Amino acid sequence: MTLRTRFTELLGIEHPIVQGGMMWVGYAELAAAVSNAGGLGILTALTQPTPDDLRREIDRCRSMTDKPFAVNLTILPSVNPPPYAEYRQAIIDSGIKIVETAGHKPQEHVDEFKAHGIKVIHKCTAVRHALSAERMGVDAISIDGFECAGHPGEDDIPGLILIPAAADKVKIPMIASGGFGDGRGLVAALALGAEGINMGTRFCATVEAPIHDNIKRFIVANDERATNLIFRKFHNTGRVAKSAVSDKVVEISARPDAVFEDIRPYVSGIKGREALRTGDLDAGLVWAGQVQGLIHDIPTCKQLIDRIMAEAEAIIADRLAGFLSREGARQAVA
């Protein structure tokens, strides 16, 4: 089955399914597998130590797929920021045609990408941010509900409200992120006004995801309650998998006099990378969303995407159409 939406037409992809641009996960193996299966795979720029490393990773991904794939560039406020302009130039020089931006004040990056004919998807967590990005000139929005892994913003608005609220106001194509993992979610997102879905945690539990099997099995074993919200006190809320490490972060943060330095040893990105690489859940944080409760296996990316599309087709053609037929029959009898 093919579901054509403005989003698939914009980017030239077969299915309205996007792989999230995840730190320490968005490598060529995963991005290429998603793109080869008809979705949109995404490399994560800042996972690469240098802009030249990003160039090499883009080349490596191209050797694995001839389908469209994107690069994520997330801009975060920092005392010692990475060389964003150099990463941006590496993306441009490599001939990438699709970029996902996220984070703080992306205007200069959006302008430069657009000047080179690159399609820009901007990821955001609030309707007001989506409208700001639309005015900025991006081509599509990825709207991220409270259920998501990563940073859901500070408004705590779940997708059931956020997606249609954004769809009521955003005119450019929009995909939905946060809480998606199967065909039911895809159909729901389309019904709520989105034109595709973005999945992060679900793609972590696939054969091609470049993380340790212990982490994949951990995600499968978890349920929808198995997350913690961290950094709330510091107005930078993050959703991570519930573990001894994240429990400790929550415990320390609850102290009235807690400051960020108290939790810094537990939340280091390098330690999170070590957890993903070694499978040691005590090494660092594992970022995962509430969709863990809907993840029950570790398929290949092709198996997963094919299954989602088959489920969506059955829901649209059989279940929902059946409701219409029964209603029609009742009206006829009346």
Q: What is the pLDDT of residues 246-277, one digit of tens each?
A: 999 999 999 999 999 999 999 999 999 999 99
Q: What is the pLDDT of residues 94-131, one digit of tens each?
A: 999 999 999 988 999 999 999 999 999 999 999 999 99
In a domain, 54, yes or no: yes
In a domain, 266, yes or no: yes
pLDDT at 79: 74
Q: Are residues 127 and 240 in the same domain?
A: no
| pLDDT band at residue 38 under the 50/70/90 scheme | very high
The answer to whether residues 50 and 71 touch, using CB atoms and an 8 Å cutoff, is no
Q: Are residues 188 and 105 in the same domain?
A: yes
Q: Are residues 95 and 116 in the same domain?
A: yes
| pLDDT band at residue 2 under the 50/70/90 scheme | confident
pLDDT at 77: 77
Q: Which of 212, 239, 262 is the last residue of a domain?
A: 212
Q: Are residues 232 and 275 in the same domain?
A: yes
Q: Are residues 50 and 130 in the same domain?
A: yes
In a domain, 120, yes or no: yes
In a domain, 310, yes or no: no
Q: Which of 212, 236, 266 is the last residue of a domain?
A: 212
Q: Are residues 225 and 255 in the same domain?
A: yes
Residue 217 tokens, joined: 């099995």
Domains identified in the chain, total number = 2
Sign of CA dihedral 257, 260, 263, 265: negative
| pLDDT band at residue 326 under the 50/70/90 scheme | low
Q: What is the pLDDT of residues 15-35, one digit of tens each?
A: 999 999 999 999 999 999 999
Per cent of the chain over pLDDT 70 is: 97
In a domain, 20, yes or no: yes
Q: Are residues 96 and 155 in the same domain?
A: yes
Q: Are residues 169 and 267 in the same domain?
A: no
Q: Which residues pair with 98 in a beta bridge?
A: 119
Q: Are residues 88 and 125 in the same domain?
A: yes
pLDDT at 140: 98
The boundaries of the domain holding residue 93 are: 8-212
101 to each of 145, 275, 293, how far by Cα in Å? Answer: 17, 26, 28
Q: Are residues 70 and 124 in the same domain?
A: yes
Mean pLDDT of 229-238: 95
Q: What is the pLDDT of residues 148-180, one digit of tens each?
A: 999 999 999 999 999 999 999 999 999 999 999
Domain CATH code at residue 207: 3.20.20.70
Mean pLDDT of 74-103: 94
Q: Are residues 20 and 142 in the same domain?
A: yes
Least confident of 49-53, 100-104, 180-184, 330-334: 330-334
In a domain, 312, yes or no: no
Question: 305 exposed, middle or buried (CB, 10 Å; 0-12, 13-18, 19+)?
Answer: buried
Q: Which of 188, 212, 236 is the last residue of a domain?
A: 212
Q: Are residues 220 and 207 in the same domain?
A: no
Mean pLDDT of 296-302: 98
pLDDT at 104: 86
Residue 69 has pLDDT above 70, yes or no: yes
- Helix, strand, coil fractions of the chain, as percent rounded to 5: 50, 15, 40
| pLDDT band at residue 207 under the 50/70/90 scheme | very high
In a domain, 114, yes or no: yes
In a domain, 98, yes or no: yes
pLDDT at 329: 52
Residue 86 has pLDDT above 70, yes or no: yes
CA separation for the pair 96, 36 (Å, rounded): 17
| pLDDT band at residue 334 under the 50/70/90 scheme | low
